[in-house]
Structure 1
Amino acid sequence: MQLVVARVGRAHGIKGEVTVEVRTDEPEVRLAPGAVLATDPASTGPLTIETGRVHSGRLLLRFEGVRDRTAAEALRNTLLIADVDPDEQPEDPDEYYDHQLMDLDVVTKDGDEVGRITEISHLPAQDLFVVERPDGTEVLIPFVEEIVIEIDLDEQRAVIDPPPGLIDDRAEIASSRDSTGEEA
């Protein structure tokens, strides 16, 4: 299975380094020196990581054969793709790889269908599931244990206990209030 693990950003300095937008929970494994990554567009790769370092909170990589700013800038917006064994599991049983969560059905604890996970967004504060609803709209579900109460990989579903308003339509929220504005 192939997974996008990073996107190349702008060149850094004059010796061929680039910034990368990390899209993996394990950059120390997937983006380590010696890693060979496929690319999209395919014409720019494969690329072998020569060095990596963190500078001002950003990961900088240098690839074999990329020796100057011009060559580094030519890689901008290239997606870096790693081969991952689909059966590989994180060490912690409460952690999941993005590919394990993609396409899971999302249901409430009462069994109501919410949608299907189409993307995992890794933000500084927390991760979010981007869930496509049956009507084609999207809803963002914070991936926190208070809301996502169960991940069942065998059944291919995520069970959530959403707080009021997270997935409810505004009309449903309004109709559940009594005349004083308090929730019924």
Structure 2
Amino acid sequence: MGRLTKAHGLKGAIKLELFTDDPGRRFVPGAVFTLQVPTSSPWHGKKLELVELRWYNQQPVGFFKDVPDRTTAETLAKAILWIDQDDDADSGEDDAWFDHQLVGLRVIRDGEQVGTISRLEHLPAQDLLIVKTPTGEVMVPFVKAIVPAVDVQAGTVTVTPPTGLFEELPPEAEAGPEASVGPDPADTDPVD
């Protein structure tokens, strides 16, 4: 539904980045949100209840129950808000899923698991799947050419990434296209 970006003021208000196109229906007093935060956060496994949503300079700002001051609000920065949804609920669109349906799915490349989806990033151009791998995190553009199959029932996402997305490139490949152009014309003898 949204992301808590940063504290606003001294009374526990938090600026929001909304992922819904209908905030008037979703962000009403009494709405309860499940938090997606790191397991080390004191908010892990907890829910937030919205007291009020205000708009300041065209930016949504939320006031939540049990968030009385700025210090508490700062501990919620970057938390993602979800609504409880039936896991079997259909998004209403083909090839569309709710974030909670994708988080935790195994990422498969050439029949082998390369990681699991830890979260999604919603950007203007496209969404990104953030895949936790044994060596760190990889941002995978969530487009059909790279993610041709999602099977929520099987718990898998199949990826066909370009070379270098999941592995280190050899030095000659990292040099870029100019490395394969050929000799520098300045290094050749002029023709008389």
Q: What amino acid maps onto 1:34 in structure 2?
A: G
Query: Gaps spanning 5+ residues in structure 1: where?
Result: 175-179
Partner deviation per Cα, 1:37-92 (whole Å, 9 max, x = no partner): 467746xx8654243255445322234698xxxx4524413355643332333121
In structure 2, distance between residues paired with 1:84 and 1:173: 48
Partner deviation per Cα, 1:85-137 (whole Å, 9 max, x = no partner): 323331213211111111212123x424322212222234322112122x333
1:20 equivalent in alignment to 2:19:
no
Equivalent residue for 1:35? Answer: 31
In structure 2, distance between residues paired with 1:21 and 1:31: 12
Q: How does 1:1-184 map to 2 (within 5 A)?
A: 6-7=3-4, 9-12=6-9, 17-22=13-18, 28=23, 30-37=26-33, 41=42, 47-56=48-57, 58-63=59-64, 71-76=68-73, 77-78=75-76, 79=79, 82-108=83-109, 110-133=110-133, 135-171=134-170, 174=173, 181=180
Q: Which has the higher strand share?
A: 1
In structure 2, distance between residues paired with 1:90 and 1:173: 44
RMSD after superposition: 3.7
How many residue pairs match? The answer is 164
SS of the aligned residue for 1:100 comes to helix
Equivalent residue for 1:177? Answer: none
In structure 2, distance between residues paired with 1:46 and 1:142: 29
In structure 2, distance between residues paired with 1:46 and 1:102: 18
> Based on CA coordinates, which of the two structures has the bigger radius of gyration?
2
Query: Gaps spanning 5+ residues in structure 2: where?
Result: 36-40, 174-178, 182-192
In structure 2, distance between residues paired with 1:99 and 1:57: 28
In structure 1, distance between residues paired with 2:83 and 2:135: 30
